[in-house]
Amino acid sequence: MSPVPPLPEGLVAVVKRDCPTCELIVPVLADLHDRAGLTVITQDDPCFPADADWVHHDHDLALSWHHDIETVPTLLQVSDGRGAQRTVGWSRQQWQELSGVDGLGVGLPDWRPGCGSLSVDPACADELAVRFSGSGLRSRRVELASREDEWEAMWDRGWSDGLPVVPPTEARVLRMLAGTTRGPSEVVAVVPPALVECTVEKVAVNAVMAGCDPEFLPVVIAALEAVCTDEFNMHGVLATTMSVGPVLVVNGPVAARIGMNSGLNALGQGNRANSTIGRALQLVVRNVGGGRPGGVDRATFGSPAKVGFCFAEDEAGSPWTSLAESRGWPAEASTVTVFAGEAPRIFADERSRTPDSLTRHLAQALQATVSPRMMLGMDAMLVLSPEHMARYAAVGWSRERFTDELSAELLGDADELLAGVRGVAAGLPPAAAGQKIPKFRPGGLLVAHAGAKAGLFSAIIGGWANGPRGSDPVTREITP
């Protein structure tokens, strides 16, 4: 931390030309210099309010930053280099009391508010904090040559997922860390496949690179905690040749607070939170855990879920309890559910006018998830659109009624699904003959509500192998 530069002794005013109130009180500043020996510290224009030896330019904003100047004008009574007393903005009464000089600003308004100090301007506050106090960050510093392109340098070092990443400067990482109350050195999780301890600071670094806003950081942290559990099995999700990755569904007040999209194009591009939260998670897995394509990541095709797949559930537009509530969380909790899923597949039904017809059609589409002959081994997520949800809302079906009716329709005739039937080698073993087999295990079909209000389409997201040999969905609370 740099030493605190002392302020001039006596009466001191901190101003900037780019402030209407500072411009207004120029006569007061000159009057106080003549009558009380005022010294002026100017932040922007070195000749404001006058080109004189009693006007000092705070060119690097060191005085303003170290002495906590948040508003200009600020009038201080300085003793031993520190502002023992101060008042901000322009108030004739307060300036007269602090200076001991009467008759200030005759003809001026009695009071005017001030403006923000340059030292707290968002454009430079973080850089000043790094310069004067040190960031305290523990991450390795990488120095680039003066002519080295920082974007290409990050690509060359393998930090990118193939898209440009934001350079994680100390100032940007500090700004990101302001989005959480958790300490930078706190370990969030042990990240596979290399099983490396990942701190809040490391999450913040990758969140910067992904393009997150600091408000998104708690969601990224919660998602990382979820995927690094034994239940989710991130190592297995990476290593499988199936094309799956973490699909993130956000529930609760945080979704609206950070501006997530649960409506038009919710599963696509265009929303900063949706686009960057899942990407930040994947960059942590890549850059901290070492999960890169061609290494442990062995997906035959890959999918958009491996770049980042995140959306919010439309709770306000749904007559049902939310996905998080169906998994045991209270409605007021902010949560993220992670599911090992593939890219979404469109389900179209523009003819069904009753919930019974739509449910039967949904069941036929869901039977094809991964393979029509794969029963019980794979989970799935169904994202119902508002127009399809309206069929159920119109007749008062609850989530539970829908799940029960759909589960009944998802019972398959094992005799039609046995290995070898109709010349297809894949299928159920002979011992299943004569039985009705569910497509999904109990709780294996997650149902969420999202999408635009127009369009009789829903989305099916197939999963990976479930249970101990695969991955289970995990929900974690998002905390500050």
The one-digit pLDDT tens for each residue of the chain (480 residues) are: 678 899 999 999 999 999 999 999 999 999 999 999 999 999 999 999 999 999 999 999 999 999 999 999 999 999 988 888 999 999 999 999 999 999 999 999 999 999 999 999 988 888 898 888 777 888 988 988 888 999 999 999 999 999 999 999 999 999 999 999 999 999 999 999 999 999 999 999 999 999 999 999 999 999 999 999 999 999 999 999 999 999 999 999 999 999 999 999 999 999 999 999 999 999 999 999 999 999 999 999 998 889 999 999 999 999 999 999 999 999 999 999 999 999 999 999 999 999 999 999 999 999 999 999 999 999 999 999 999 999 999 999 999 999 999 999 999 999 999 999 999 999 999 999 999 999 999 999 999 999 999 999 999 999 999 999 899 999 999 999
Last residue of a domain, one of 74, 104, 120: 120
* 158 and 109 together in one domain: no
Residues 6+ apart with CB under 8 A from 210: 165, 166, 276, 277, 279, 280, 283, 308
Burial class of residue 20 (count of CB atoms within 10 Å of its CB; 0-12, 13-18, 19+): exposed
* 317 and 445 together in one domain: yes
The DSSP 8-state label assigned to residue 470 in this structure reads S
Taking the CA atoms of 395, 400, 403 and 409 in sequence, report the sign of the dihedral they define.
Answer: negative
Buried b (16+ CB within 10 A) or exposed e, 164-194: ebbebebbbbbbbbebbebebeeebbebbbe
* 355 and 463 together in one domain: yes
User: Token digits for 145?
Assistant: 């040559």
* 386 and 292 together in one domain: yes
Question: What pTM value is reported for the model?
Answer: 0.86
In a domain, 303, yes or no: yes
* 82 and 228 together in one domain: no
Last residue of a domain, one of 120, 135, 168: 120
* 351 and 227 together in one domain: yes
Last residue of a domain, one of 74, 101, 120: 120
Residues 6+ apart with CB under 8 A from 424: 373
- Strand pairing of 445-449 and 457-465? unpaired
Q: How many CA atoms lie within 13 A of 383 on its CB side?
A: 28
What's the CATH number where 105 sits?
3.40.30.10
Please give the tally of structural domains in the chain.
Answer: 2
* 362 and 231 together in one domain: yes
In a domain, 147, yes or no: no
* 449 and 358 together in one domain: yes
* 103 and 212 together in one domain: no
Alpha helices in 252-367, H assignment, sequence order? 253-257, 272-287, 323-326, 355-367
* Contact indicator for 375, 369 with CB cutoff of 8 Å: no
* 210 and 331 together in one domain: yes
